[in-house]
Amino acid sequence: MAKDPPDPIAPATRAVIAGRRPEWTGTPDHPAAVVNPPVWRASTHLYPDMAALRGHPGNADGHFFYGRRGAPTQWALAEALTKLEPGAAGTVLYPSGVAAIAGALLAVLRPGDVLLMTDNAYEPSRAMGRGLLKDMGIETRWFDPLDLAAFQAAICPKTRAVLLESPGSLTLEVQDIPALTALARQRGLVSLIDNTWASPLGFPALSHGADIALMSLTKHVGGHSDAMMGSASAGADWYGKLRLRAQGLGLVVSPDDAALMLRGLRTMPLRLERETKSALAVAEWLAARPEVARVLCPMLPGSPGHELWRRDFTGGCGLFSFVLKGGTAAARDALIDGLSLFGIGYSWGGFESLATPVDPAPLRSASAWPLPGMDPADCFGVRLSIGLEDTADLIADLERGLAAWAAGG
Ligand SMILES: *Cc1c(COP(=O)(O)O)cnc(C)c1O
């Protein structure tokens, strides 16, 4: 972008222009010569002379120093993500989403601290509480994602931070983030949120009270199931601390992967819009099926926290779960095996649809599953990531899957 953009601009426009600085997409005699920042593969950065080496302007993106601090390809991605997150002063990139969660928690927590974690958090986040953090003398306590009073009661003098995730993994309850972060702030806690599901396009997390917004870029931003990365965006105070901790841990991302993420980011608003529409149509179809006990899709009325989704979110995505009416584990396997347009794999957010079994019960320690009002016999769940295929084709495929379920049950 050679010219400054007008202000204000909508998120979809920002996703197209952000990070394309003239000096990152051209040469001094022809700034902004190409659309995308080239892949700057570099471990060594060179200085024109000793004065330049001695007068290095400091630790910030946009200044060549050494490969571990990145070069224009990574800086462009970090800047683009910062521009998409209202309230962010900067974004730190990590080699995966899990590395972003670990890197941010290690920037915030100290031995002796207590971390509160939502009970529907991504399982590797839970495992971090039981493993990495425990080994460092940090205690993790889980709380019911939908119970504000339980959250408030769980705060003790040693509580330092809260890790939120909304909608939560597998069961997709939407949390009251403005209320939870307000309570956290009153008690001096740092609020971190795993915002992978909505991204800042669907839920600007910092402007809803979070201090640090985390994402697995592997999912929506990459969007093509071919690269892994994570990010943490924050206001000025936390951004500086996150950056120093990530540097201390030696975390870097490759310029090739950053270029893939930038490519994905440009079409993310369009993909999310289409996947949200398609997912809602599939969710509505499933909700009307006699084989289905419950559909857990934030965009669907009746799903836990749907009113909060309507109040706080500006978009959705293609990821949701549904629970079958009774049946067996073998019948559910038959359902998933009976699908031909859905891949079987532990990811989501790509252009292609995926299906995986979900069994949340053993992952919970502070809240009930099945949810109140559900029949305990209805315990076999399926998670769908709806991609960009034709919606009617996906529904026809699920109809075949449900027939296999009925035959296999
Ligand atoms: C996938 C995922 C992550 C981890 O991301 P990776 O890039 O796979 O490490 C974190 N949070 C949520 C909610 C996820 O679904």
My answer on whether 229 and 194 are in the same domain is yes
- Between 303-312, 328-337, 370-379, the lowest mean confidence (pLDDT) is in 370-379
My answer on whether 138 and 180 are in the same domain is yes
My answer on whether 316 and 350 are in the same domain is yes
My answer on whether 191 and 278 are in the same domain is no
In short, whether 172's Cβ falls inside 6 Å of ligand 1 is no
Residue 141 predicted with pLDDT over 80: yes
The answer to whether residue 68 sits within a structural domain is: yes
The answer to whether residue 5 sits within a structural domain is: no
Residue 380 tokens, joined: 């076999």
Residue 2 predicted with pLDDT over 90: no
Question: What is residue 409's predicted lDDT score, i.e. its pLDDT?
Answer: 58
The answer to whether residue 69 sits within a structural domain is: yes
Residue 122 tokens, joined: 């991504």
In short, whether 169's Cβ falls inside 6 Å of ligand 1 is yes
The answer to whether residue 2 sits within a structural domain is: no
The CA distance from 124 to 109, in Å, is: 18
- With both helix axes pointing from N to C terminus, report the angle between 391-408 and 329-337 in degrees, rounded to the nearest 10: 140
My answer on whether 215 and 300 are in the same domain is no
Length of the chain: 409
The answer to whether residue 88 sits within a structural domain is: yes
Last residue of a domain, one of 230, 247, 263: 263
Last residue of a domain, one of 208, 242, 263: 263
Tell me the residue type at 48: P
My answer on whether 118 and 37 are in the same domain is yes
DSSP state letters, 237-275: HHHHHHHHHHHHTT----HHHHHHHHHHHHHHHHHHHHH
The CA distance from 103 to 36, in Å, is: 28
| pTM as predicted | 0.97
Question: What is residue 373's predicted lDDT score, i.e. its pLDDT?
Answer: 84
How do residues 206-250 score in pLDDT, each as one tens digit? 999 999 999 999 999 999 999 999 999 999 999 999 999 999 999
My answer on whether 78 and 218 are in the same domain is yes
My answer on whether 230 and 333 are in the same domain is no
How do residues 50-93 score in pLDDT, each as one tens digit? 999 999 888 888 999 999 999 999 999 999 999 999 999 999 99
Residue 372 predicted with pLDDT over 90: no
Tell me the residue type at 196: T
Catalytic residue among 41, 68, 130, 158: 68
My answer on whether 254 and 305 are in the same domain is no
Give how many domains the chain has, as a whole number. Answer: 2
Catalytic residue among 122, 176, 312, 397: 122
My answer on whether 367 and 322 are in the same domain is yes
The CATH number of whichever domain residue 24 belongs to comes to 3.40.640.10
From residue 88, how far is each of 41, 44, 105, 214, 253 by CA, in Å?
Answer: 27, 30, 18, 12, 20
Summarize the confidence of residues 299-312 as an average pLDDT: 97
My answer on whether 250 and 125 are in the same domain is yes
The answer to whether residue 4 sits within a structural domain is: no
My answer on whether 86 and 166 are in the same domain is yes
The CATH number of whichever domain residue 361 belongs to comes to 3.90.1150.10
From ligand 1's centre to the CA of 216, what distance in Å? 5
The range of the structural domain enclosing residue 356 comes to 267-408
% the chain with pLDDT above 90: 92
From ligand 1's centre to the CA of 326, what distance in Å? 30
